[in-house]
């Protein structure tokens, strides 16, 4: 159950990051705006991190946790 919550948290952070950067969840909108935000950054725990990389990491953690892979399996 704890592993599933890690996946939920990662997925939620990824979705919130997408919405805060692109203001939409629509695939067509997000994919068309990616070139405009290729150099965007987020401040995350005092560090400046590339926004698209952070979004991808959060979504990856969400998918790994939800499908019980790579260390998040029991």
Summarised one tens digit per residue, pLDDT across range 1-10 is 777 788 889 9
pLDDT digits (tens, 9 = 90+) for 30-40: 999 999 999 99
Distance of alpha carbon 40 from alpha carbon 21, whole angstroms? 9
Across the chain, what does the average pLDDT equal? Answer: 88
Q: Is the pLDDT of residue 71 over 80?
A: no
Judge contact between 15 and 63, C-beta under 8 A. Answer: no
Q: For residues 66 and 72, what is the distance between their CA atoms, to the nearest angstrom?
A: 9
Count of the separate structural domains present in the chain: 1
pLDDT value at 74 more than 80: no
**74 domain residue, yes or no:** no
Decide if 55 is inside a domain.
yes
Position 37 in a domain? yes
Range of the domain at 9: 2-67
pLDDT digits (tens, 9 = 90+) for 12-54: 999 999 999 999 999 999 999 999 999 999 987 889 999 999 9
Contact, 15 vs 25, CB < 8 A? yes
Distance between CA 71 and CA 41 in Å, rounded? Answer: 28
Q: Is residue 72 part of a domain?
A: no
């Amino acid at each position: 159950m704890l592993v599933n919550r890690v996946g939920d948290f990662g997925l939620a952070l990824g979705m919130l990051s997408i919405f805060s950067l692109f203001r939409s969840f629509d695939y067509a909108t997000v994919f068309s705006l990616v070139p405009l935000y290729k150099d965007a950054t987020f401040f995350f725990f005092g560090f400046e991190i590339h926004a698209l990389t952070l979004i991808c990491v959060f979504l990856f953690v969400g998918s790994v946790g939800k499908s019980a892979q790579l260390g998040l399996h029991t």
